[in-house]
Amino acid sequence: MTDFIITFRETLEAALVVGIVLSHLAQTNAKGWFKIVYWAIGLAIMASIVAGYIFESYLGGFEGLTEQIYEGAIMLTAAALISWMVLWMARQSKHISGHIKEKIDQHVQTGRKIGIFFLVFLSVLREGIETVLFLKAAALQAGGNNLMASVLGIGAAIILGALIFSGLRKVNMKRFFQITSVVLVLFAAGLVAHGVHEFQEAGVFPVFIEQVWDLNPAVTQDGVYPLLHENGTIGSLLKGVFGWNGNPSLLEVASYFAYLLLMIMITSGIKRAQWKTGAMEQRESNRD
């Protein structure tokens, strides 16, 4: 499920940018620039695949202490990027389309096709790099990736993006990003806790209390994990999506909830600021 959500959201974000660019170019009678957009998409996808290959082939294969520090760093880095992405979207969601269109107009008026190329290339590449990192972190946390779920997420996002810009389906994108942001924040909280766990195993962070609780059911005599065990069918799903740990340390629990509290405080501050800005703009409009 996590892999589907990651690829679905990241691909849809890239698809929305591409859709805005193509739609605005068509509206401004600049369809001749479409080829530049297609080249940018293709090269960005190729660059993302190369980055994924390098990341998987050359940034890994460690053992012992180095492996624990590496995995902890990957998880905390991914959690930080997810947090930045969610908060950036919360601040800019109302202005993304207008900002992109403004840049397109500038490039078209000055005839700078390279500007359109890099606008699309960097947007798609950013989503591609983020997808690689997030899937790697998800694999470390859950013990592997689900290739089928990842492919389905990409395909579903492309189809939905095409339907949105062809006018066949109206989607409340604000609500979509709100729901997926909640899921990603919970996923990031699990990455923070799991990253702390890896650093504790490496001896970088202190342990304090090794187990706050142990809710993992006993393994059967045949060595089979029960469904609710963190390595069981249901438990592993909760572990991969929400970072569930049946026997966490005190520092893991503290870091999990401290992260969630921090994100709630920051997003609440953003919403208050946006509400104040909206109220001021409304008053100015009423005066006019």
Q: Which two tokens stand for residue 268?
A: 């609440």
Distances (CA, A) of 14 to 180, 187, 277: 15, 21, 28
pLDDT band at 104 (very low <50, low <70, confident <90, very high): confident
Q: Is the pLDDT of residue 159 over 70?
A: yes
Give SS3 for 240.
helix
257 alpha carbon, distance to own chain's centre: 20
- Position 171 scores a pLDDT of 66
Q: 250-266 pLDDT, tens per residue?
A: 999 999 999 999 999 99
- Position 41 scores a pLDDT of 94
- Taking a C-beta distance cutoff of 8 angstroms, is the pair 13, 120 a contact? no
Q: 54-77 pLDDT, tens per residue?
A: 887 877 667 788 888 988 999 999
Q: Which two tokens stand for residue 55?
A: 């990341």
Q: Which two tokens stand for residue 232?
A: 């069981």
Rounded to whole angstroms, the Cα distance separating 254 from 258 reads 6
Neighbour-count burial of 149, counting CB atoms closer than 10 A to its CB (0-12 exposed, 13-18 middle, 19+ buried): middle
Give SS3 for 144.
coil
Q: Is the pLDDT of residue 142 over 80?
A: no
- Position 272 scores a pLDDT of 87
Q: 188-221 pLDDT, tens per residue?
A: 999 999 999 999 999 999 988 999 998 888 888 7
- Position 1 scores a pLDDT of 64
- Taking a C-beta distance cutoff of 8 angstroms, is the pair 116, 104 a contact? yes
- What residues contact residue 184 under an 8 Å CB cut-off, 6+ apart? 5, 6, 9, 82, 85, 86
33 or 176: which leads in pLDDT: 33
pTM for this prediction? 0.81
Nearest to 27 by CA among 19, 35, 15: 19
Q: What is the mean pLDDT of the chain?
A: 85
- Position 84 scores a pLDDT of 92
Q: 25-56 pLDDT, tens per residue?
A: 888 888 888 999 999 999 999 999 998 888 87
> Above pLDDT 70, what percent of the chain?
93
- Position 19 scores a pLDDT of 87
